[in-house]
Amino acid sequence: MNRLWREAVLPLALLWLFSTFAATIARVDGNSMNPTLHTGEVMLLLKAPRWAFAWHLTGLPYRRGDVVIFKAPPESEYAWETLNVLGLAVRHRPYIIKRVVGLPGDTVEIVNGKLRVNGKTVAESYASGDSAQDEAPTRVPPERLYVLGDNRVLAESVDSRYYGPVRVQDVAGTANIRLWPPGRVGGKLQSPSF
């Protein structure tokens, strides 16, 4: 029994603890973060700061420009997908990857295709172009984040323009470090200058 515990149960328990509370990996699926991220790329998802915040050990761990993985607000029609599992339709909220552009208390808007935060136009060299339509000013509520995909072409990114600011509690963590493919591994992803 000791050997089973030492060689199987303990390593699995440690792996579960690490992947739940420290870090794990996430695979990009879709075009919403082009040109920054592409389908099939693998990101390091850092979870520890999220848990430190949830346990009131630190302040808000997210900054404008961070790439985060989260679930869309549950009240949104865009939050849910239906999977076929053994012939049964199972609804679930998948994880999504986007960039934080607004923090609690910020006012976010899109004017003439350009992102503005608190009245200032943001230089977004990472974005794939201007937004196709303007967005009225939105004040980000407490405990929420305003997120956008880097691909601003109309209908390429379903983000806070569609479902509003996301709850901080629904953010799994930051994914600012690329692990795959080999030619694109490394460093922190480019952040906006605001």
Please state, in angstroms and rounded to a whole number, the distance separating the CA atoms of residues 136 and 109.
6
Of residues 47, 71, 98, 131, which has the active-site annotation? Answer: 98
Does 32 participate in catalysis according to the annotation? yes
Which backbone phi and psi does 162 adopt, to 5 degrees? Answer: -100, -45
Of residues 32, 131, 157, 160, which has the active-site annotation? Answer: 32
Judge contact between 179 and 44, C-beta under 8 A. Answer: yes
Does 98 participate in catalysis according to the annotation? yes
N residues, the chain = 194
Instruction: Give the distance between the most distant pair of CA atoms in the chain.
Output: 67
Q: Got the DSSP string for 96-149?
A: EEEEEEE-TT-EEEEETTEEEETTEE---TTSSS--SS-EEEEEPPTTEEEEE-
Q: Which residues are designated catalytic? A: 32, 98
